A and B are shown apart, each in its own frame.
Chain A
Amino acid sequence: MNIIKKFSLGLLITLFLTISANADKIKIGTEGAYPPWNSKDASGKLIGFEVELAWALCRYMGKQCVIVEQDWDGMIPALIMRKFDAIMAGMSITAERQKAISFSQGYADEVASLAVMKGSSLEGMDTPAGINLTKPNAAAKKALKTLTAALAGKTVCVQTATIHQNFLDSGDVGKVNVRTYKTQDEVNLDLASGRCDAALAAAVAFSDYAEKSGKPVVLVGPTFSGGAFGNGVGVGIRQDDTELLQAFNKAIDKARKNGDISRIATKWFGFDASM
């Protein structure tokens, strides 16, 4: 009995110490499955552009940080329920998400693109290299029409709850058969298996997959930005947490000024994706 008592007391003390040790730390949530933004190495350690950037930002804030993993589809609810204090998970700043959470200024920007397997009938579409959907010009509108015709009745795969799903649901490219997956990995698998006629995600997510898997995945059509695709990627923070928001904004300013964001972005993306 005595041993059990001592043991439980020890357990309680350890628990208390762990809690109090973590009380001062900023908890940052990331997905760990969206390379090169964030992913895991073979040993299960979180790596990627945002993991490295998070450490840099924490240094500028003068705070200790813990990076925790969270499934993408529960990311915003987990933030709201205080499982962590900030999201750094390649999350684009969109008006829809801003209804639920605040965002810091953007730290990096990505363009989205459609991808198909080599030999697909969707290859060789006549579209400009990139279109911006915030104020679509004549060329962009024409490109959307081309896409609408090409994608009619096709199955396009996306990760669930992403800007890419929002774009396909918006009807800008007509009625396509949208199939949603829990992770980008699963989207890639089904693109390669032929279940998807095309997939939509960050262009870098596809080039990263093509490089690592050796599969003949090719980008088609224009790259997309603006509109449903949001205004860059920022740190997601609870709306009542204004202090932390300011701290992150200041840290991003400093990191940008010192060239940290460009340096880390170039390391992981192969080009300067910072903003």
Chain B
Amino acid sequence: MITSFPKLLTATVVTLKLLSLSLFFGLFIGLVFAILRLSKNKIINKFAYAYSYVFRGTPLLVQIFIIYFGLGQIEYFRSTFLWVVFKEPYWCAIIAFALNTGAYTSEILRSAFQTIKPGFIEAGKSLGISNKIIFYKIQIPIAIRQSLPAYGNEIILMMKGTSLASTVTLMDLTGVAKYIISTTFKPIEVFIVAGGIYLFMTFIIHNFIKFLEKKYGYSQ
């Protein structure tokens, strides 16, 4: 147990890298699709809805398997330039995670946009501020502030979701835990240590979000 701890800590770095890159791309995807969801154009709106519906409606494991093993089976796909990226399990995992968390993030942000009181926007308009600036300086900051608690949950869910990276050969925290078990045959001890590390990460994320909420949240 003591000898396996440093190995698990090294693997935690892989988990954190997967998490931060997925969240980075996911937030971008989420913001874009939240805006598309608010579009008055029916086709754009339906397209954005379909994306979030599909990725929220199927298990993350299935999504990873389709992206990793599924796309790899298509011979034509392997001849395209995309194969350079999809050949690597690391990028397949990040793409799957980012698309998944992006779908949830888009829903979180959309509902936050919709709860912005019309008064804020009208106030901006009455001051003669352009729509673009109203969007960047009023709507986005309020939406982000509104969605902090829900987004904090999403980060924690995603952090736990990265454990599925081990199913596509990546040596993240779960992958290394399984590897240690396969040589020591002691699942309980190793999984408890790994679980403890996940719990500690949750503790940090949870408190960080709480801090942000206190600093930027509404004080009504």
Contact = CB atoms under 8 A, between A and B. Distances in A.
A190 interface: yes
Nearest to B71: A193
A252 to B, nearest CB: 24
A100 B183 CA distance: 10
Interface in B167-200: 167, 169, 178-179, 181-183, 185-187
A96 B89 CA distance: 30
A184 B44 CA distance: 43
A100 B185 contact: yes
B5 interface: no
Counting chain B CB atoms within 10 Å of each CB, the highest count among A76, A80, A179, A195 belongs to A195
Q: Which of B73, B179, B182 has the most CB of A within 10 A?
A: B182
Nearest to B167: A182
A96 B183 contact: yes
Interface of B: 69, 72-73, 78, 87, 89, 167, 169, 178-179, 181-183, 185-187
Contact of A80 (B89, B182, B185): B185
Contacts of B185: 76-77, 80, 100-101
A160 B178 contact: yes
Nearest to A72: B182
Given A189-B69, A189-B72, A189-B73, A77 B187 contact: yes
A161 B73 contact: no
A211 B169 CA distance: 26
Contacts of B167: 182
Contact of A161 (B72, B87, B182): B182
A160 B72 CA distance: 21
A88 B118 CA distance: 69
Given A73-B182, A76-B185, 19 more contacts: A73-B181, A74-B187, A77-B186, A96-B183, A100-B185, A160-B179, A161-B183, A179-B169, A180-B169, A180-B179, A186-B69, A189-B69, A189-B73, A190-B69, A190-B72, A193-B72, A193-B78, A195-B72, A195-B87
